[in-house]
Amino acid sequence: MKNIKKRIVQAVFALAGGTLGMSYLPVVWSLSNLDKFILLNNRVTGFVIGAIIFWVLSIFLAGYVLSLMRRAEKMLTKSSPIYLITSGVGTVIGLVIAILISTLFYRSDVFFINTMIPLILMLILGYLGFRIGTTRLNEWKKLFQVRKRDLNNQDQVLERRAGENYHHYKILDTNILIDGRVYDLVKTGLLEGTLLVPNFVLYELQYIADSADSIKRVRGRRGLDFLNKLQNEKIMPIEMYDGDYEEIEEVDSKLIQLAKDKDAVIVTNDYNLNKVSQFQNVQVLNINELANALKPRVIPGETMKVHVVKNGTERQQGVAYLDDGTMVVVEDGKFYISETIDVVVTSAIQTDAGRMIFAKPVHSTKEITHSKDKTE
């Protein structure tokens, strides 16, 4: 294979030498006063002499030429197709421009002007075209990729358009921030668009957090904590709305008006706000309605620690609240008011108004007997 390549190189040298001999040897014979010899001064003799001279040179230069060819071959095989295409196209464009400019100099009788200047222009513009094609490779890649995508997927590209059911803003009310489940919902990625928290909701949340009632104070601070989490973790874009509706007194009415102005959805767990918003054709995402389709957080037989705060509506019942505001009805909880006890969940129901858990003390019989003895 190597010998074949060498012979091809020698043949190319001989062909090039013969062509040059036909063109320039007559000039040499004329300068040497040998143009009178017809056997010497003809195209065939010039071709043969030039071919022989260059064939002799190829014996010494063929090895170097083959080495350069191998290097070029390695470089080309390592280069990406985009690199080869852009460099080739850039070089060709540069050469075409050089040829067009060179037509202005071909009519001159001066050798430097009609030969050297076009040659210099071809070298310079060809090199510039090559450099432009290779140095701006990233831009060329993007161009080819965009065109390829447009050609191949012209009929398959699906544009995502916002329809009538899409609402960019999701307005959070006070109750949903205190509830905290909206944070878990945001983390799932089910909500789209931007969360919007009005300043009047933030003020109400601060007012609850500064309340003298310890339960309200804990709930208010819980809501502020979840709001800070949503802002700091940047799971979803969140904005503050600085405007206010001074002519409207109730916060719920302000939320409904803001939702109308922004074409937004109100995210809440307030049953009354849900019904009023629906009556006024404002879309609402009710967390409690969503929870109806999900697995309850507590199951019968699960134990938890609660703080009983007041009497229940039924006889001997006590009422406690979880951190998210869920009501826990404790059987025989009347005897544990203002105490923190362990209870066992007996059942849990979910309504549009919220979730309600029914439980009984772990050691209810022993504690009730002890409490009755005290009262007697």
Summarize pLDDT for 48-104 with one digit per residue, the tens: 888 888 888 888 887 888 888 888 777 777 666 777 787 788 888 988 998 898 888
> Considering the chain, what is the average pLDDT of its residues?
79
- Asked if residue 168 has pLDDT above 50, the reply is yes
Lowest-pLDDT range of 140-149, 160-169, 272-281, 366-375:
366-375
* Positions of CATH 2.40.50.140 in the chain: 303-375
Choose between 117 and 370: higher pLDDT: 117
Q: For 221-247, write each residue's pLDDT tens digit.
A: 988 888 888 888 888 888 888 878 878
Whole-number pLDDT of residue 139 = 65
Whole-number pLDDT of residue 140 = 61
> How many percent of the chain have pLDDT more than 70?
84
Distances (CA, A) of 46 to 11, 24, 320: 17, 8, 114
For residue 282, report the phi and psi dihedrals to the nearest 5 degrees. -105, 125
- Asked if residue 151 has pLDDT above 50, the reply is no
CA atoms of 219 and 318, how far apart (whole Å): 20
Whole-number pLDDT of residue 296 = 55
Q: For 286-338, write each residue's pLDDT tens digit.
A: 888 877 766 556 778 888 889 999 888 887 889 998 877 788 999 988 888 88
Q: Kindly report the CATH number that applies to the domain delimited by 303-375.
A: 2.40.50.140
* Positions of CATH 3.40.50.1010 in the chain: 169-291
> How many percent of the chain have pLDDT more than 90?
4
- CATH number belonging to the domain at 169-291, selected among 3.40.50.2300, 3.40.50.720, 3.40.50.1010, 3.40.50.880: 3.40.50.1010
Q: For 209-224, write each residue's pLDDT tens digit.
A: 888 888 888 888 988 8
